[in-house]
Structure 1
């Protein structure tokens, strides 16, 4: 355990309680499941013996990955983190303890590991290389304290779900169930171009804020600050840096100050193709340096994942589904889901089912399966609504059991609660999602939706505008949310203006446009939108339309009903 003395000095009782919780819920069960035996505890450490080095490495990877997820929303000064060392060698059993060089070397190798990392000896590496879904970096021969000969040491490289990398096609383990290959991204220290040493703090702080906020996104694997800051002030080849860090994508930027103005540039690079996926420039007046730092960091982390997904969608279009990894299947399913069409929903279900077949313990995939099935349930595209709803809740319960810190899980639970008109539960999950990832545009815009259903249109409009500002490349449906919020506020012209930003309308959006024009007295326009509603859904009537609304106040539902009746629906 790293920083044990510091944590104990700051909060002895709380540290022991948190460590005990991690032991009971995570560490001891993982060791037991992998046929390990805890020989002894040393306050800040564990000595564990395994029958198989593969079991030892597998258990270590799982513990470190899950501890990283557990720590994602814990302040840095309160995190319980570990280093792991693994060795294969002869040991002496005596009075329930084990001794010998094998144990001593494992202890020394552990000290070479970085925080949250795993180091192992060549003896271990030779046994597991190619047998496990992990890749390793050769650190060379290392002199170890009180060990006469140097020992070759390897570290487990970040890559898949924190550590393991998927084996290449044709290698041992390929084709078997594998951990999720998330897109890996490293944020290099922003360069201070102003010549002002004071701005060095700002540049470093901005880099750290971006790293922290990106780490909240469960669909990304973010390389740690410790690794990326090695390249501070260095002119290095991007591809070489990416290879050393184990990152596919790099974020780099610069900060320049002149008088009371600040200019920040940022770009996202795909190192596999040397393509600049996205670049942006931010010019701000330096009234409050910390407020500017927060604003820029929020804007960057809200935009980056969407730009990264857009780049990957181009690749997916050229990839056969049978060749897609679990993450790619989830990404393809999301794209189909956002089209909000019945046939696309069916295809999205197929893609998300494939993702879970590849990795049954992929929490993010379970969450999105719940979301995709929830869309079909909400639109009435299913025969047995009760059975499908039970499936939705099963998927979300499974996702939250696997990863309670995934903002998407709580966002989707909030959406389901809204559809069930349970606004108290919706607000709980919405607040939790927002706390986990305050810069996630889908969470922020859904907060605006929630306020709209509650009849608080001004707050709804404010949150939706905030989401749009966070992600200037937001989906067009954000304009639909804004239009509905303005309609609740009886601002019909603004509602129409918002809807008109959309390229196409579904029956529900035509309905709000019809009601808005009707309240403004434009019978020609309102009748035209009613006609389009009927063309899009021959079975739609007023009762069915209103049944899809979730207003908490009866007057808001009545207001929509009267507008539609004025339009002739």
Structure 2
């Protein structure tokens, strides 16, 4: 913050309180809402909020032109009494977005894809173990410095097609391919794995490991270290210590997590609750798995935004507890940081989201979903086109990712923020085509069509929406907009979107008179 050339430092969470008040100028914002938005439902944040308001008032007293910037409304909350000019706000995050884009690993000689490990066991359910090994190796290799890693779903999608190593590697934009087999015999596990160079068409390295299932994560760590060393000792690549080293391996829990991830490929309300059921089962088996806690926090929060939660307050509390547990168990894990950023995104706190997601992307630049959500938040905060390029980068790199359908949704939000309504409609159309069973895609598309004056198109989209979600109402959309306040460039556009959707929403049939 600055006043008459003097700059005053403000802690990030304190600034988040101010930004949330500024987004609701002259309105009374309750303490509960501020705690929910800024501290993500942390029940111990009551004193922190009191301290934040006190610090803001102390800084604002320097300006004598306004008697009281923040007013307390007895038993209701706080209101920002000073005028707010968003156009005058300095755009200080654009260079950071560009910097992150420039630092993303590019396809080069030091690039690799992990093809799906083949399940050689007689037990069919062991395929989840093989799939999980493939997914985990992709994620862990993504944390190796200067190494470009093809997205998991893009690599596995190409497997099985009649093509040479060079052709597969060329389509994925990598030089090296990892492949392998997994065989389970009782409590024992045998893993064969090899590294192929697509340029020389030679096997660079191969190995076989036999271990107990309880040491499954050690297998992953060893393979990652072997691959990175084999690819280039000159670069002195070394595997960063993985948070998994502090986790115990539970086969049943692992399989449940992989099943939950697969459900995202055709996402809808039924899939959302199946994902929660599977993840909660996994947590019963392994209650100290931070990644599962983090995934549940994201899913419960997404249910609120998607209007799937029967009791949003209960879902919010559950999300808060799961996120707290994940952050307590492994606070520096990029998956956990990504989850914290995604939860902050869906609760309407883009500043907190950017802080968590930036750290996550710095730790693991090959996670396309973290990159896409981060780009969305950058664009929301400052109409940052570099943020939109992050989303496009994720789409180009991982077109078969389970969350690929959502990324066009984020692009549409960016276009709305940038005032490009026709491009927003095109993006939302893409999203509805990618995942036609997710009702929130149609909500956004109908809003954009209505805002553009395409009433007939909007009515048709609303009809499709109500077939999927017959209980959805304009009031539900209005609640979503009040949470996602940064979605629109200004409050006028936000209010116009609500009004436009009201105009195309079907009105209830008049009650027939008794007679």
Structure 2 length normalisation: TM-score?
A: 0.48
Larger radius of gyration: 1
